[in-house]
Amino acid sequence: MTSAVSSLLRPALVTFAVLTALTGAAYPLVVTGIGRAVFPEEAAGSLITRDGKPVGSSLIGQNFSDPKYIWGRPSATAPMPNNATASSGSNQGPLNPALVDAVKGRIEALRAADPGNTAPVPVDLVTASASGLDPELSVAGALFQAARVAKARNLSLKQVQDLIAQHTEGQWLGFLGEPRVNVLRLNLALDAIPS
């Protein structure tokens, strides 16, 4: 009986060791190496740097609340906004009173930050994305905030609008998705304007 168990155990352990080495070490190393060779920026986290120091990723939103910045989409991650370890949506449907109240509160905050702005509020400024980490905003969402940012920075409205246009990314492959603005890249460009 013992020799039968050992004759089955040895091949099982060898198979386990070989598969562990292949799938747990060799495969991840090969895929990572290919990723770094073919997509070096993406494989490194799509980091955005300023003065040689990373300030964020172009793939994860950041929480901007100062009036001199373009604000991104609301984040559904808890307990802190844009927490990549808690990526998820709120799972609240359009008839959920909590979502309705949250949207009303976000509209009020936008109106309070820029009382003279009577334009309709773009939907992406008051609703979170499915991941809760959206780093991008619609062009309409950025333009909605242009006057507030221009006033807070003592810039002309045209300067801010031109900067938004310069940082607008088109549709992917020319037909997928909508034109959009990466909020972190745009805010860094705003900071680079001499005051």
State both tokens at 84: 């990549």
Digit-coded pLDDT (tens) for 105-154: 999 999 999 999 999 999 999 998 878 788 999 999 999 999 999 999 99
φ and ψ at residue 49, rounded to 5 degrees = -115, 155
Query: Would you place residue 5 in the very low, low, confident or very high pLDDT band (cuts 50, 70, 90)?
Result: confident
- Confidence at residue 106, expressed as pLDDT on a 0 to 100 scale: 93
- Confidence at residue 110, expressed as pLDDT on a 0 to 100 scale: 94
- Confidence at residue 73, expressed as pLDDT on a 0 to 100 scale: 92
d(CA 15, CA 60): 40
- Confidence at residue 40, expressed as pLDDT on a 0 to 100 scale: 86
Q: Which residues contact 19 (CB under 8 A, 6 or more apart)?
A: none
Contact 74, 127 (CB under 8 A): yes
In the chain, DSSP finds a helix count (H) and a strand count (E) of 8, 5
